[in-house]
Structure 1
Amino acid sequence: MLSSDNDAPYDRPNLSKDYLAGTAPEAWIPLRGPKFYARNKIDLQLRTTCERIDVDARAVIADDGRVFPFDRLLLATGAEPVRLPIAGADRDHVFTLRSLADSRAVIEHAKSSKTAVLLGAGF
């Protein structure tokens, strides 16, 4: 299993709920623990970005040159949040919540903040 994320798979909706509110520990966020992946012989490759897929060779080539052969391939790319094209959106106190790392950054920044504005919607 290849993932460009730094963290093992987790339930994204929880990032903007109990975890962000501080009522759930980070240990609650992952979908499965490390033993699950080992027990099920899942080779979880984090911080791995797919550069291309060689269909004829039945292999995924990572951006660092590693090659991952496959018998079957499932692409689950997810989605990216819409980033507003407005002045100031690139400032260090403006966050887009997509990943566990994003949620950690919001929590850290909120410790020294007095006000916040939230734009967006979810399901």
Structure 2
Amino acid sequence: MGKLSMFGITLEGNRTVYFPGDFIKGQVLIQVTEPMKMKAIKIKFVGRAYVHWSETHTTGSGENQRTETRHYSATENLFEQTVIVHGEGANEQTKLPQGQHVFPFQYQLPAPLPSSYEAFFRQHWIH
């Protein structure tokens, strides 16, 4: 086993949904078995939007009837931000002493952000 024996991230509260302008708060938990040199401990916050839907189209009739399903999707990067929770991050090195360490962090979600929506919708046509 290397110098790093435990690494974890805990979030404050029991929230699973966040809104634009909300703060995401928590702690980085690290335990090292011997002193460890490093430049920084960083957390990268990334927000992405993803949408997907399908449309079914039927053409012709009788024996010439064909059904085709078209899939549409898109992804958009909304934000990407790195937060340094320990160290300088540049060319400077720091030494993390042996033991358990707790580094608090917080990140405010930017505004505006799209709302979150998840649903299943099926459209039926009766002829």
**Same fold at TM > 0.5:** no
What range is the shorter-chain TM-score in?
under 0.3
Would you tell me which structure has more strand in proportion to its own residues?
2
Would you tell me which structure has more helix in proportion to its own residues?
1
TM-score, structure 2 length as denominator?
Answer: 0.20
TM-score, structure 1 length as denominator?
Answer: 0.21
For CA contacts below 8 A with separation 6 or more, give which structure has more relative contact order: 2
Q: Highest CA radius of gyration, 1 or 2? A: 2
